[in-house]
A and B are shown apart, each in its own frame.
Chain A
Amino acid sequence: MSSLSTDTAAPVSEKAPSPGLAQRFAPALMAGPATLLFAALVLTPLLLTFLLSFNEYEHATGRTHGFTLSHYAEVLTDGYYLEIFLRTFRVAALATAICAVIGVPEALILSRMRNPWRSVFLLVVLAPLLVSVVVRAFGWSMLLGPDGVVNMILQAVGIGRTRLLYSEGTVVVALVHIMLPFMVIPVWTSLQKLDPAVEQAALSFGASRSTTMLRVIAPQILPGILSGSLIVFGLSASAFAIPGLLGGRRLKMVATVVYDQYLGELNWPLGAAIAVILLVANLIVMLTYHHVVDGHYRKRMG
């Protein structure tokens, strides 16, 4: 019990020397590479695309440098494009919802595992990211093709050969497969932050497992589900490889239409206009969603 031995007060330190030049510019220097990369690879092409979308286009002469809003007018009034936009967002929304339905329980199970299994299964969850999207898309087309494994099974059970490829369903399934890790990881991260005693508390007050999940756990991992949904939706809505390879020529989504305009029709300004509209529409959907869900959460959790 030496608590009463008086501590000699630590000498008051001299006034801290003013930070050197390097220190003062350190934040700017550190942010520099990222800023440069972002400006060169994201902002510049975006700006060029934006400017391009106002250029005039003639079939005979190609792109001219005049200013027109006709491409925007065309996309926004033509039912053909409207249908493609609706399909794109429908597919993205569906993929997001299915990812949430599969990914949230997956993350829950993962968070309850103990090592080494937890590490093993985390790797399994992340494994799809290690394989190229194109390779995985071809994997799906082999699986679902006319002579694929699934059709062989369908024939064997007597349902008969079914056309599985080039349908919206196939695109959704493949997107879910690719996007799932982007849902699991943020949900898992928010589960890591939960106090395990909170769940025990709910149980001790007589709550069933399902009530505990719905009333106590789910509200707390909402931010994780929110960020997972935003990532999955954004990536799905602008996905190109999967709809391109599994949607075929007829089932078009926005990204594949942009590609067609650029490389098929050679109408770059129209392609650019579609791309800009996709970006804006995507932003509106995501910001609205974020505002609704996050506002609801922030009100409670601060």
Chain B
Amino acid sequence: MSFLTLRNVTKRYGSFEAVGNVTLSVEKGEFVSLLGPSGCGKTTTLQMIAGFVDVTSGTIELDGRDITRTKPNSRGLGIVFQSYALFPHMTVFDNVSFGLEMKRVPKSERAALVEEALALVHLDKHAGRYPRELSGGQRQRVALARAIVIRPPVLLLDEPLSNLDAKLREAMQFELRDIQRKVGTTTIMVTHDQAEAFSISDRVVVMESGRITQIDQPYRIYEHPETEFISRFVGKTNMLPGTVSAVGDGRATVSLAGMPADVPADGLSMGETVVLCIRPEKLRLTPAGQGRLQGRVTDRFFLGSQWLYHLDGPLGPLMAVATNDGEAPLDPGAPVGVDWPAAVVRVHRGAMPAAPELESLE
């Protein structure tokens, strides 16, 4: 029996379906991220869990209790808003204390709980300040402390880090995860940033046009994206169009512009059009003349720990990532061989998407 269950949750605005048939089970103590591009319905889903948006159909259950129609102020959930939504006229202490006051926690106990929560986010020295006197990162922490101090059954985070600069965002990611582990609160986070979702979630729910397309561990989503949309949205990927030219016992052969590639059969049939997806870091660069493909370096980008190469070959442009081993990199124009282990190839059925959207919201 899971702790928080969404069953066929749907939200319609007139004829527009913002969220369709979302079914999701979250275990107690789990950290789940809703990941998707803007307008995919992830925030609406969170708002329905919070109670700010009415559910058109379906049910939401929390700890065995149906809360689908419960008012937001009797759900008792802790929410961290994208804008932080701190009470600007209250001190940090009063902001954090507000939820306890509403829960009628005796005044004598409140102070200790507030201080404990503020210590958890390293803001115990700023209790007397007003939100306007804090930096963005500090406000974010106040919002977090304010949400966890009431010991909510579920913590909802709406793009909690999107207003922070890149470096702070990375630091807060780990801190957020750390705090969540310490407190052990079941957490649902909405984000459009795949790195954020991957680094701190137990499971990631990928949403696309109001529907869930995959629920899996971050590693699984990256390595085994179930749709071609996910493989493009999550990280970078090389897509090679081909046709199934032979189906054998458990294995099949896909012809990539005449070049055979061995893939798992997995229900493929002869003549079917498929797309092979290979992540850039799975491609191995070999000396020219070796490997499966021959190509030429068109451009290179230095990423510090890695080199990103753009290659041109018989199958069109490819991206490959090579570890920066300290040796001189390949120069643009240099001929190069490309190889990959058969196991890293993912097969998606159907033709190549017309024009790959570059909007892979990173």
Given contacts A1-B301, A302-B130, contact A206 B85 (CB under 8 A): no
Give residues of chain B (52-70) contacting chain A, Cβ–Cβ below 8 Å: 52
On whether the beta carbons of B78 and A204 are closer than 8 Å, the reply is yes
On whether the beta carbons of A205 and B132 are closer than 8 Å, the reply is no
Q: Chain A 209-233, CB within 8 Å of chain B: the 1/0 string?
A: 1010001100110000000000000
B150: chain A residues at CB < 8 Å are 205-206
On whether the beta carbons of A203 and B88 are closer than 8 Å, the reply is no
> How far apart sit A214 and B264, CA to CA, in the bound complex (Å)?
65
Given contacts A4-B301, A4-B302, A220-B89, contact A204 B79 (CB under 8 A): yes
Residue B15 interfacial (CB < 8 Å):
no
Number of B residues, CB within 8 Å of A: 35
> How far apart sit A255 and B132, CA to CA, in the bound complex (Å)?
45
Residue A202 interfacial (CB < 8 Å):
yes
Given contacts A206-B73, A206-B102, A300-B130, contact A200 B89 (CB under 8 A): no
A302: chain B residues at CB < 8 Å are 130, 132-133
On whether the beta carbons of B87 and A216 are closer than 8 Å, the reply is yes
Residue A200 contacts which of B81, B133, B302 (CB distance < 8 angstroms)?
A: B81
A202: chain B residues at CB < 8 Å are 87, 98
On whether the beta carbons of B77 and A204 are closer than 8 Å, the reply is yes
Residue A293 interfacial (CB < 8 Å):
no
> How far apart sit A208 and B72, CA to CA, in the bound complex (Å)?
10
Given contacts A200-B72, A202-B98, A205-B99, contact A301 B88 (CB under 8 A): yes
Residue B82 interfacial (CB < 8 Å):
yes
Interface size class of A (residues with CB under 8 A): 20 to 34
Given contacts A204-B75, A208-B73, contact A195 B85 (CB under 8 A): yes
Give residues of chain A (1-28) contacting chain B, Cβ–Cβ below 8 Å: 1-5
Residue A173 interfacial (CB < 8 Å):
no
A200: chain B residues at CB < 8 Å are 50, 52, 72, 79, 81, 85
B301: chain A residues at CB < 8 Å are 1-5
Give residues of chain B (194-216) contacting chain A, Cβ–Cβ below 8 Å: none
Residue B74 contacts which of A1, A3, A206, A301 (CB distance < 8 angstroms)?
A: A206
Q: Chain A 131-164, CB within 8 Å of chain B: the 1/0 string?
A: 0000000000000000000000000000000000
Residue B240 interfacial (CB < 8 Å):
no
On whether the beta carbons of B81 and A197 are closer than 8 Å, the reply is yes
A195: chain B residues at CB < 8 Å are 83, 85
Residue of B nearest to A296 (CB): B89
On whether the beta carbons of A203 and B73 are closer than 8 Å, the reply is yes
On whether the beta carbons of A205 and B102 are closer than 8 Å, the reply is yes
Q: Chain A 185-213, CB within 8 Å of chain B: the 1/0 string?
A: 00000000001011011111111110100
On whether the beta carbons of A4 and B89 are closer than 8 Å, the reply is no
On whether the beta carbons of B98 and A205 are closer than 8 Å, the reply is yes
B73: chain A residues at CB < 8 Å are 203-209
Count chain A CB atoms within 10 A of each CB in B50, B73, B76, B308 and give the residue with the most: B73
B99: chain A residues at CB < 8 Å are 205-206
Give residues of chain B (133-178) contacting chain A, Cβ–Cβ below 8 Å: 133, 146, 150
> How far apart sit A215 and B87, CA to CA, in the bound complex (Å)?
9
Residue B103 interfacial (CB < 8 Å):
yes
> How far apart sit A297 and B132, CA to CA, in the bound complex (Å)?
13
Residue of A nearest to B280 (CB): A1
> How far apart sit A302 and B99, CA to CA, in the bound complex (Å)?
24
- What are 17 contact pairs spanning A and B, CB under 8 A? A1-B236, A1-B303, A2-B301, A195-B85, A197-B85, A198-B87, A198-B88, A200-B50, A200-B85, A201-B79, A203-B52, A204-B77, A205-B146, A205-B150, A206-B102, A297-B89, A300-B90
Please list the residues of chain B having a beta carbon within 8 angstroms of any beta carbon in chain A: 50-52, 71-79, 81-83, 85-90, 98-99, 102-103, 130, 132-133, 146, 150, 236, 301-303, 308
* Those 4 A-B pairs whose CB atoms lie nearest each other, nearest first: A205-B99, A197-B85, A206-B102, A201-B85
Please list the residues of chain A having a beta carbon within 8 angstroms of any beta carbon in chain B: 1-5, 195, 197-198, 200-209, 211, 215-216, 219-220, 297, 300-302
